[in-house]
Amino acid sequence: MIDWTTVSDLIGLLNDWIVIILMMTGFYIVIAQHNLVKKVVGLNIFQVSVFVFYITMGKIDTGSAPILKEGISVYSNPLPHVLILTAIVVGVATTALALALVVRINHSYGTIEENEIQTIEHDEEDVA
Amino acid sequence: MPTSDPWLILLVVVPLLAAPVCVLLRNASAAWSVATAVAWAVFAIAIKLLMTVLDQGQATYRIGGWDAPWGIEYVLDPVGAFVVVVVAAIGAITLPYAKRSVEKEIRHDRIYLFYAMLLLCLSGLLGITVTGDAFNLFVFLEISSLSSYVLISLGQDRRALTAAFRYLIMGTIGATFYIIGVGMMYQMTGTLNIADLRTIMPAVIDTRTVHAALAFLTVGISLKLALFPLHMWLPNAYTFAPSMVTAFLAATATKVSAYVLLRIMFTMFGDVDLFETFPLQPILITLALAAMFLASLSAIWQENVKRMMAYSSVAQIGYIVLGIALATESGLAGGIVHIFNHALMKGTAFMALGAIIFGTGAVTLKDLEGIGRRMPMATAAFVIAGLGLIGIPLTPGFISKWQLVMAALELDMWPLAALILLSSLLAVIYVWRVFEVAYLRPSPAGVRAPNEVPLSMLLPTWLLALAGLYFGTHATFTLDLAHTAAQHLMGGL
Amino acid sequence: MVFSFLSEAQIIQLAVVLPLLGGLFVLWMGERNRNLRETASLITAVAEFVLVASLTPEVLDGARPSVDLFEMLPGLTITLTVEPLGQLFALIASGLWIVNTVYSIGYMRSNNEGNQTRFYVCFTIAISAAVGIAYAGNVLTLFLFYEVLTVSTYPLVTHSGKPEAIRGGRVYLGILMATSIGFLFLAMLWTYNATGTLDFVNGGILTGKVQGPELAALMFLYMFGIGKAALMPVHRWLPAAMVAPTPVSALLHAVAVVKAGVFSVVKVVVYIFGLDLLTVAHGDDWLLFIAGFTIIAASIIALRQDNLKRRLAYSTISQLSYVILATAILAPISVAGAAMHIAAHAFGKITLFFAAGSIYTAAHKTEISQMDGIGKRMPFTMVAFGIGALSMIGIPPTAGFISKWYILSGALETGEAFAILVIVASTLLNAGYFLPIVYAAFFKDQTPRPQDDPYCKYDNHGEAPVAVVAALSFTALGTIALFFYPDVPLALGRALVGG
């Protein structure tokens, strides 16, 4: 018969499953998609999975928000929250920069599809 | 309670604060002046810190006065001091060079922004080297990486944009892997302070989480390090970036990533027999050898000399990783001293190429025919750097080869020693291709006389070339320093 | 001769540095002041010889003056030490440099060669490197100057800039670099790793540290690492370098490069391995065979060459292995003979190359088949050639006889039948490819060139310019003089093995 303890444990790891799914999805999009903007989106999804990972780490069972208040003795770990805020900011900067580059690439090449860009570059190199 | 050395934080903060000053100044020359002054100041601070570290063993600074492991601590030990001096020195030398080179290659209204980015990059690289906190390292890693993406994208050729984009994608994946690794380690140990991680590591080393963490950390840093086969971003990035940027990054960015690898393997995991527990040595040695041979072979077939040198850099990174992978004091010393020696040689090479670009506009082999006669000083500097890559005595490359082969012989790894020497011979082929074209072919008929390269570009190039020759002939200081650093890493002082 | 105002250490350092200073001066003079430039070259050459010669008396007395230049690696310095074999090589190099300079002036000007400044400057660097090799106090110093010699002679080999020259240069550089980085560097580090030192010491430094098959392997690495000694199969660079102008060939093949090669071989055998160690351990039996094979094979190839310089190149390869063979016999007297042969071959070969260049300058002929009757038009040149040829074969009254005598004595003493056979056979072969040239030159009639040959006008040529003839006459006389006054080279050779 089904071992419900294990199933319950596995379901309890829901957050981790989401992390893995998001990570792999994001990674796949980065590699497989030709459209540069979609690559950036993939990168974002990849980064979000890391955020979820950290936040999951920080939550303590029965812990409340990490704000000192009388009567509460168990708090969630505030450190991962801090780390994630930093990482989110870094992620935003990266995305902004990436999108700016995509705009310039579009301006220069007339397309944002990676395979088309590669063809243009290839032809250029043969002539140059 | 260790004393707090404020110079340590100034090293990072001064360039960081100078960057927005450049933005506010809006004037290209003013921005350059600020950047150069900062670079020289940082170099002076770096030397001071080296003295302190050699004297006292290490320097520390607690940010905000909070003690480690709760607060973020900056720690500088011999390895770190060594790398800091390399980065600062390259910054100090390439900035005077940058003035005319950048004026020629980058749109005038963007130059002040360029210098702002450069200062951020410098700050980031220095921050990585001095921080003692794993997450703080990520922050500085991204500061330096993001600014380098911008710097590269400012190149003249539009392929600089795609090169920067590709670097961005791969670099971000690498940084993200790094941060996954750090997260897992935090999960198991509860601390982010590197020294603290070290003491707690033996207790948790047998968990799958830590194994996975190590894997993520290594792969993440290898992406930044351009270790084969994760090096794909490097050739295009170095080829299409502005000349000064290539010179600066080639000598610093990957070296700092090598430093991070050392930190992870020998400090974070320093109290655990890392090389016994995991098959790291065979894996890293194989990858290093692959880098040395395949990249050198790729270099031979390149028509664009900048790209040739970029592949050569991938090969040289292979040498550094080989030294690290040997995991003995001699091996580490070899890797560490090559960080310095390679910075000297590649810095010279790329600055010389930048001078040639300034003079003639291009660096394909076709364009370089007879350049030895038209631009003797720049070409001669390049040849000196090239001889260093081959490993002729009197050049710093010889010293690195000596140390690495000695390290291999000490471990009775004969085939490895032979392979190291064999790959140097590949360097003979590609360096000599350039030499022949530059000196033994006549200049094409009707070619314009080259623009005269200003002294502000030739002087730093030759300074670095001569410094290379000096440290290639009087290598006692650098080798002793490398040995001290290696001892420190291995002995866990 | 004693320079009272210079200390010994300074003399030794100056011996290495002086050519470089001369080179700077030559560079400064450039194409504009050609006469001053040639004068500068000559004065530097003479001064160099005087400096080097001044050290001879004390070396013969048993002193081994030494000076540390600088520390390159922790615990390893670049050191110059004067000992008998090194002094012999330095004397030959610096002495023949004077003659070579005179010859070069004549040759380069008559043939209107380009890039003469670069030529003379590279010469000075090459000589400086050769003296550095001669006075090397440890293997690291030797390696350093050895590589400098390779790099500085490359522009000399590719001087003409023509495609053949570039190709020849690639083979030259390729083989020498491959052997030095691939083998010699490894041998050097192996030695350092095993013994903790790289100093040249009487009796060698390997006893007790390296033995058995490892010893043979280390010897293999050294012998093939020293590619300039042209042991087969790493000999191909020598004929490839023939594409260089003749003064360069003379320098390379008589004075500096090849001599540096065999000198290094002898030095390593005597001062790193030690004759006693090798005799006991039979570490060098294979060397005997390879050297012997090279001698015979190169002679046979020489027989089949029509191009004079190529025949001389293969003769050189053969003669170099004489030195290696003599050393491999391990008898003190044959090692002394090896040292003597370095001197004898230098004088003889440089004469032969000078003659070849003289023929080219005057008659624009390069193939032996063209040289019938040339002795009548160029008596000085061909008589000198004849003397050089006799020295190669080993017939008195030439220097080659003395060195061969010593080498044979050593072979007889140790009963090395193989060596005796090789020496005898090669003597016959040498006669076979040298004597016909001399005979044809004097006793056959000149065949005029066909009408459409662009060099037709040279058919009525006389002797080469004065400088050229003077140089080759001097070296020819030197070959004979060494027969009658072999004291200095012999004394140095004996001091080498006497201790």
Length of chain B: 493
Contact B325, B280 (CB under 8 A): yes
Whether a cis peptide bond, with omega within 30° of 0, leads into B69 is yes
User: Does A47 contact B173 at a Cβ distance shorter than 8 Å?
Assistant: no
Least confident piece of the model among B129-133, B310-314, B489-493, C16-20: B489-493
Q: Which two tokens stand for residue B8?
A: 């340590």
- Per-residue pLDDT, B345: 94
Q: Which residue has the tokens 């005057």?
A: C362
Q: Which of residues 163-182 of B touch A (CB under 8 A)?
A: 164-165, 168-169, 172-173, 175-176, 179-180
A window 25-54, beta carbon within 8 A of B: 27, 30, 36, 39, 43, 46-47, 50, 53-54
Tell me whether residues B150 and A97 touch, CB distance under 8 A. yes
Distance (Å) of CA A57 to CA A66, B214, C166:
14, 18, 67
| Residue-level pLDDT at B338 | 95
Q: What is the pLDDT of residue C2?
A: 56
CB contact under 8 A, B173 and A30: yes
| Spatial distance between the Cα atoms of B388 and C335, rounded to a whole number of angstroms | 38
SS3 call for C73: strand
B491 vs C380: which has the higher pLDDT: C380
At residue C283, the pLDDT reads 62
Which has more confidence, B301 or C286? B301
Do residue B146 and residue A93 have CB atoms under 8 angstroms apart?
Answer: yes
Q: Could you say which of B387, B417, B440 has the minimum Cβ distance to residue C186?
A: B417
What is the C-alpha separation between C489 and C145, in angstroms, rounded? 23
Nearest residue to C221 via CA among C259, C254, C265: C265
Mean pLDDT score, B406-421: 91
> Residue C499 and residue C487: Cα distance in Å, rounded?
17
Arithmetic mean of pLDDT, A54-83: 84
Chain C residues near residue B480 by CB distance under 8 angstroms:
74
Would you call C161 and B476 a contact, using CB atoms and an 8 Å cutoff? no
Is the Cα torsion angle C289, C291, C294, C296 positive or negative in sign? negative
pLDDT tens readout for residues B106-163: 888 889 999 999 999 999 999 999 998 999 999 999 999 999 999 999 988 889 999 9
Of C140, C161, C182, the CB nearest to B421: C182
In chain A, whose CA is at the least distance from the CA of B140?
A: A90
Asked if C139 is an interface residue toward chain B (Cβ–Cβ < 8 A), one would say no
Instruction: Copy the structure tokens of residue A89.
Output: 């900011």
Which range (A73-77, C5-9, C225-229, C379-383) has the least confidence?
A: C5-9
Q: How many CA atoms lie within 13 A of B56 on its CB side?
A: 15
- Please check the confidence at residue C3 and state whether its pLDDT lies above 90: no
Give the mean pLDDT of A92-111.
94
**What pLDDT does residue C480 have?**
85
Average pLDDT over residues C447-472: 75
**What's the gap in Å between the CA of B176 and the closest CA on chain A?**
7
pLDDT reported for residue B3: 66
Provide the pLDDT for residue B44: 95
State the Cα–Cα distance between residues A52 and A16, nearest whole angstrom: 8
The predicted-structure confidence for C104-153, as pLDDT tens digits, reads as follows 888 888 777 777 888 888 888 999 999 999 999 999 999 999 999 999 99
Amino acid A128: pLDDT: 45
Tens digits of residue pLDDT in C181-202: 999 999 999 999 888 888 888 8
The whole-number average pLDDT for the span B365-382 is 87
Domain ranges of chain B: 279-493
Shortest CA gap C176–chain B (Å): 11
Judge whether B10 is closer than 8 Å to chain A, CB to CB.
Answer: no
Q: pLDDT value at position B493? A: 43
Max mean pLDDT range (A2-6, B268-272, B318-322): B318-322
Q: Of B66, B82, B186, B184, nearest to B126 (Cα)?
A: B82
Q: Band of the pLDDT at C1, cuts 50, 70, 90? A: very low
Given CB atoms, is B66 within the 8 Å cutoff of chain C?
Answer: no
C414-454 confidence digits (pLDDT tens): 887 888 888 889 899 998 888 888 888 888 877 777 766 77
> Would the CB atoms of A97 and B149 count as touching at under 8 Å?
yes
User: Looking at CA atoms only, how far is residue C389 from chain B in angstroms?
Assistant: 36
The CA distance from B414 to the nearest CA of chain C, in Å, is 10
Is A16 buried (19+), middle (13-18) or exposed (0-12) by CB count in 10 A? middle
- Inter-chain CB proximity C73 and B402 less than 8 Å: yes
CA separation, residue B386 to residues B350, B442, B460, B468, C288 (Å): 11, 21, 17, 11, 39
Q: Does residue C247 carry a pLDDT above 80?
A: yes
Per DSSP, helices labelled H in C62-212 are 84-110, 116-134, 139-157, 163-179, 185-195
B422 touching C, CB under 8 A?
yes
Write the residue in B391, B440, B442 that is nearest to C158 by C-beta. Answer: B440
Chain C contact probe: residue of B425, B431, B469 with most C CBs at under 10 A: B425
> Which helix (DSSP H) or strand (DSSP E) does residue C68 occupy?
strand C66-73
Q: Which helix (H) or strand (E) holds B62?
A: strand B59-62
The answer, for B418 touching chain C at a CB cutoff of 8 Å, is: yes
Q: What is the pLDDT of residues B284-293, one digit of tens each?
A: 999 999 999 9
From the list B162, B179, B187, the residue facing A117 with the nearest CB is B162
Contact A57 B186 (CB under 8 A): yes
The pTM assigned to this predicted structure is 0.90
pLDDT-derived band at C498 (thresholds 50, 70, 90) equals: low
Q: Taking CB atoms and an 8 Å cut-off, how many pairs form between chains B and C?
A: 75
Cβ contact (<8 Å) for B142 and A90? yes
B477 CB within 8 Å of a chain C CB: no
Q: Which residues of A touch B142 (CB under 8 A)?
A: 90, 93-94
Q: Please tell me which residue, A47 or C66, carries the higher pLDDT value.
A: A47
Sort out which chain C residues have CB atoms less than 8 A from B402's CB and list them. Answer: 73, 189
Cβ atoms of C351 and C388 closer than 8 Å: yes
- The 10s digit of each residue's pLDDT in C152-183 is 999 888 888 888 888 999 999 999 999 999 99
Question: Who among B390, B442, B479 is closest to C73 (CB)?
Answer: B479
- CB burial class (10 A; 0-12, 13-18, 19+) of residue B18? buried
pLDDT, one tens digit per residue, over B253-296 is: 999 999 999 999 999 888 887 887 888 889 999 999 999 999 99
Q: What are the pLDDT digits (tens) for C316-365?
A: 999 999 888 888 888 888 888 888 888 888 888 888 988 888 888 888 88
Produce one character per residue of A46-55: b if its CB has 16 or more CB atoms within 10 Å, e if not: bbbbbbbbbb
- Which chain B residues in 271-310 lie under 8 Å from chain C, judged by CB atoms? none
- Best of B341, B432, B440 to disrupt the C interface by mutation (most C CBs within 10 Å)? B440
Nearest CA in chain C to B422: C182
Question: Cα separation of C412 and C329, whole Å?
Answer: 10
Given a cut of 70, whether residue C301 has pLDDT beyond it is: yes
Q: Which of C74, C147, C189 sits opposite B392 (nearest CB)?
A: C147
Q: Rounded distance, CA A100 to CA B112, Å? A: 18
- Provide the percentage of residues in chain B whose pLDDT is more than 70: 99
Interface contact B399, partner C, CB < 8 A: yes
Cβ within 8 Å, pair B399-C71: no
Mean residue pLDDT across chain C: 85
With CA atoms as reference, the chain B residue closest to A28 would be: B173
| SS3 at position B139 | helix
Q: Do chains C and A touch (3 or more CB pairs under 8 A)?
A: no
Closest Cβ–Cβ partner in A39, A94, A105 for B146: A94
Of the ranges B308-322, B391-405, C451-465, which one carries the lowest mean pLDDT score? C451-465
A-to-B residue pairs, Cβ atoms closer than 8 angstroms? 71
- Mutation target among C20, C72, C115, C138 for the B interface, most CBs of B within 10 A: C72
Neighbours of B, requiring at least 3 CB pairs below 8 Å, are A, C
Domains and CATH numbers, chain A: 4-127 (1.10.287.3510)
pLDDT at B249: 95
C-alpha–C-alpha distance, residues C301 and C357, integer Å? 21
Q: What is the pLDDT of residue C364?
A: 82
Tell me the chain B residues in contact with residue C169 when contact means C-beta distances shorter than 8 Å.
Answer: 440
Q: CB contact, 8 Å: C31 with chain B? A: no
**C and B touch per CB criterion (3+ pairs under 8 A):** yes
pLDDT of B375 strictly over 70: yes
pLDDT digits (tens, 9 = 90+) for B94-118: 999 999 989 888 888 889 999 999 9
